Structure 1
Amino acid sequence: MTGFNTTTQEQQHSGYPAYDEQISQLVHYVYHNELDSALALHRARLALLDALGCAMETLQQSSECRAIIGPRIPGTDAPNGFKLPGTNYQMDPVKGAFDLSTLIRFLDHNDAYPGAEWGHPSDNLGAILAVADWLSRTRESAPSNGGAQPTIRTVIIALIKAYEIQGCYQMQNAFNKVGLDHTILVKIASTAVTAWLTGLTEAQAAAAISHAWADGHPLRIFRQSPNVGPRKGWAAGDAAMRAVHLCLLAKAGQPGIPTALSDPDWGFLKTSFGGQPLRLPRPLGSLVMETVFFKLITAEGHGISAVQAALQLSKTLSEKGLDAPRDISRIHVRTHEAACRIIDKQGPLSNAADRDHCMRYMIAVVLLKKAVIEAADYSDSGPWARDPRVEALRSKIDIVEEKQFTADYNGEKKSTASGLTISLVDGTTLDEVVVEYPIGHHLHQDTLAKVQAKFRENMKGMFSQEEIDRIIQAVYDDKMPVHQLVDLLVRDTNID
């Protein structure tokens, strides 16, 4: 793909070089790529519904998250501002982007995409919907003073492109291996599509993206023991908020940093990426949306296959009249390298964020519960956090890398396989259960039907069936102004 050559008057007069090629590539893709994949468009509507449902699930279940959303100054409203779904808050799009992306991400139930880096492309919806709703309301109130009003189609196209940017970078670039958090890619992708949404020129878009690369980037420390904490739930909101702010700065005329990536002394690649190249392994199109993994089980994505395998084994144990942990001597887990590196934790687990990134905890709870693990099962107040049987089972688990699973995870199959074998105290061993494509994978035939069912389940605590039906219909109405969809999601009062 050929990127445009961003040459501004400032560059001509100051001798600045053209923007780094990958910055130009992103702008060219966002501004000039015409999407025509029916599959991507269909899955994008489900991705939008799924993300909104995850936000409503968080509002209902997490008082910790509810405590950090709302206007910067309590009690204030922003004229024509973004109306945060599930609430009566109306705020500026910068804080709105933080709040919606945080709500989507907080319970670790939104979609995911595998690769050298694992990330969650729907994290970008906070920036997209906050800006689109704000522009839609602004242009509705003064149509002669603005551009075209954003529609549902606008949001869908922006979502596909944000997924593609984030997902393609994830394929071959392991930010975690240099200590950076994957939400750096939310900032890059959200900046690129928000630039387009807000009507920036291509030169301004390049400037905004260059600043996104030049930012100080979050360390991954808040996802790794012993420092795991709730920041992993709002890190995406932080990235989305920054993306919107950078675009507003570029719109106000702030110049860019043309060699933000490549400068040999001070560029991102030298200072923050170990001197490695950034790889875009394929032309940007719509593949990521076509193959994104929908999280239909509340578990860190690398561990969902293990959860399903454990569920099958729990049924076998029950059929044989066996008890966990009493009758189990050992649980052997074969899985892919990323799971070993990210969610194989031993020792104490200090909070919900720590538990939901521990494969051993997930497996133990499923074997004891004899059902899939849910968001409440990770909480301090839940039934399992202090159950000694969980710790007894965790101590009996060993996790090893299976090279073929790693190859399939990194290759074209993009499977997230795990195999579990249970050895019993009487010396017998149950047959290994291997799950290669867990529910939510694009090759699992039940995935898309279950995504809409998950949305309805997440919404029903706050919306009637008639309201849910209208929201679904709106997501399929390409010509509907964005604010009309968001109005369907507003509640008159906030959840305490």
Structure 2
Amino acid sequence: MSTCAALRATHRAPRTLSSRILSARPVSLTSSSSFARNTTTFKTLNSSVPRVSRFSTMAPLQQAAPTTDKSYDPEIKDMADYIHNYNVNSDLAYDTARLVFLDTLGCGLEALKFKQCAKLLGPTVEGTVVPNGTRVPGTPYQLDPINGAFNIGAMIRWLDYNDCWLAAEWGHPSDNLGGILAVADWIARTNRAGGNLGNGKIPTIKDVLEAMVKAHEIQGVLALENSFNQVGLDHVVLVKVATTAVVSKLLGLTERQTADAITQAWVDGQSLRTYRHSPNTMSRKSWAAGDACQRAVNLVLKVQKGEGGMHSILSAPGWGFYDVLFKGKKFSFQRPYGSYVMENVLFKVSYPAEFHSQTAIEAAQIVNKKLAELGKTAKDIKEITNRTHEACVRIIDKQFKPMDNFADRDHCVQYMVANMLVFNRLVASDYADGSEAATSPLLEDLRQRIRCVEDPQFTKDYHDPSKRTIPNALTVTLNDGTVLDEVSIEAPLGHRLRREEAKPEILAKYKRHLSAHFDQARVDQLVNLGNDKAALEGYEVDKYVDLYVKEKVIDSA
């Protein structure tokens, strides 16, 4: 008897269910599993079948099971409460957010120089212009906020040059600006035209900065003690959750609706890390954050239209996030939500490189000076040992892995260190196929002579909340047997411990990224505005974004 036939039998004669089941020989264990709890005979018959095969969603209905508790998981309630009721009053957080905002926009503009990025941007259907839609910086595009979030999010992340947060989980909290800026700009343009989004107000950059602080906090606090990479999930799940939370507030959703939207983000299928690791490393890792941003905005807009949420999305036995995707483990929290993450976020100042490699590259630059003093070059190096931390080994140690594409090269510590030693530089174009660096026989040979070794103390310092250093130490052996003194650097430029040293470099990086797109007058205007905290925070979002609009995207390579 088929499942459907069995169900029809149930509805026709529910009181003779046992006799109907027992008379239907041979019995299909799968199709009859709906009736497992209704007859002792059938329980015995079906006892050898795995428990999951005997499960049926009809069973609770047939037993008139009581309605489950409708209170939200406490983790969801805490996020929604933080978004709606926490007042960010940290001057350090806002000042850091200002620098992150400028730096992130600059990174997005720089990515437009690369064809692989530029080809993914623009409207889904060529020529589409959305009235009062999101404007994409550095382009002429005017898009719906969902696609706008993808465009801005993808260009921000493309070069792996925006900020960073390293803990049990890694990530780049400024990725959330993709969704935040897209929605804030759309709200501003719509309301200026007479609309009533987000309670009718026209958002300012101060609103954007507040949303950034809170998005950083949600993503970063969740990352402190919860490793998604250990279960094979990509960190962009946290971008989706954090963007969902803050965009809900921007759009005027209630605290309950925000909780609903957050649950939708957790139930949404989560990205695997496959595209970040050999043998499948590819460019999707560069637009994964954009994808997370657009999914977040899409979910919030559905909740705005009345879609509800799932109260036990994390904890539901068998079907919740914890049981299905987190090996049954609940999230643990080191600290409550506040402004800690923005205050301690890491800037990528010196090199467009995966953050676990930053101190190794800086050490290589020092090694170059030592080589020059000895009258030596990279050609004279026999081997290098990199004493490092566990995360570096796990993510970017690819000593003998072929470098097939841009994505391989910018996530290989050996390639980046060798690039610095051979050319005394590391710029984004060095990762491109066919570039001088990518085709250098010397670089490729040297890359395979750099060995990573984990130092447990470095790993401990990496996870220590009072340090959060990202240490690397290079020991170079020359062909003539000379062993150079180890060069060890624990905190990269851009770390909290070197923040003041980094500030001028962060602004110089922003100015450099602007220069390829705008004339000197516009560059000066944007830099001066960025340096004026009060003026920047008071700027209305759409008017500010208009300063970045171009009639044509820069030619890409």
Q: Deviations over 1:308-349 (max 9, x none)?
A: 001100111111111223x22220110110001000012211
1:24-423 to 2 correspondences below 5 Å: 24-60=77-113, 62-142=114-194, 147-296=200-349, 297-325=351-379, 327-345=380-398, 346-371=400-425, 373-411=426-464, 412-423=466-477
Residue 24 (structure 2) aligns with: none
Q: Deviations over 1:163-205 (max 9, x none)?
A: 1111111111111110000101000100000000111111111
Which of the numbers 497, 501, 505 marks the counterpart of 1:450? 505
Root mean square deviation, CA, Å: 1.4
Q: How far apart, CA to CA, are the structure 1 residues paired with 2:336 and 2:519?
A: 43
Residue 483 (structure 1) aligns with: 542
**TM-aligned CA deviation for residue 389 of structure 1:** 1.0
Q: How far apart, CA to CA, are the structure 2 residues paired with 1:490 and 1:230?
A: 26
**TM-aligned CA deviation for residue 377 of structure 1:** 0.6
Residue 440 (structure 1) aligns with: 494
List runs of 5+ in structure 1 lacking aligned partners.
Answer: 1-12
Contact kept, 8 Å, 2:112 with 2:553, in 1: the verdict is no
Q: Deviations over 1:348-396 (max 9, x none)?
A: 111010010000111111110123x110111112101121112211221
Q: Deviations over 1:427-454 (max 9, x none)?
A: 2210000011111112113111111110
Residue 494 (structure 1) aligns with: 553
Which of the numbers 464, 468, 471 marks the counterpart of 2:519? 464
Q: How far apart, CA to CA, are the structure 1 residues paired with 2:168 and 2:241?
A: 17
Q: Deviations over 1:403-435 (max 9, x none)?
A: 111111101201001000001122221000001
What is the aligned length?
481
Residue 70 (structure 2) aligns with: 17
Q: How far apart, CA to CA, are the structure 1 residues paired with 2:401 and 2:145?
A: 41
Give the AA of the match of 2:504: A
Give the AA of the match of 1:78: V
Q: Name the TM-score, length of structure 1 as normaliser.
A: 0.95
| Higher relative contact order (CA closer than 8 Å, sequence separation 6+) | 1
**TM-aligned CA deviation for residue 464 of structure 1:** 2.4
Give the AA of the match of 1:63: K
Q: How far apart, CA to CA, are the structure 2 residues paired with 1:190 and 1:317?
A: 47
Give the AA of the match of 1:79: P
- Helix, strand or coil at the partner of 2:76: helix
Q: How far apart, CA to CA, are the structure 2 residues paired with 1:449 and 1:289?
A: 18
**TM-aligned CA deviation for residue 144 of structure 1:** 6.7
Q: How far apart, CA to CA, are the structure 2 residues paired with 1:270 and 1:460?
A: 50
**Cα distance change, pair 140–314 in 1 and its aligned pair in 2 (3 A):** same
- Helix, strand or coil at the partner of 1:446: helix
Matched residues, percent identical? Answer: 46
Residue 480 (structure 2) aligns with: 426
**TM-aligned CA deviation for residue 15 of structure 1:** 5.1
Q: Which has the larger radius of gyration?
A: 2
Q: Deviations over 1:127-146 (max 9, x none)?
A: 00000000001111106785
Contact kept, 8 Å, 1:229 with 1:354, in 2: the verdict is yes
Q: How far apart, CA to CA, are the structure 2 residues paired with 1:456 and 1:388?
A: 34
List runs of 5+ in structure 2 lacking aligned partners.
Answer: 1-65
**TM-aligned CA deviation for residue 495 of structure 1:** 2.9
- In terms of mean alpha carbon deviation, does 153-162 or 466-475 score higher? 466-475
Residue 8 (structure 1) aligns with: none
Q: Name the TM-score, length of structure 2 as normaliser.
A: 0.85
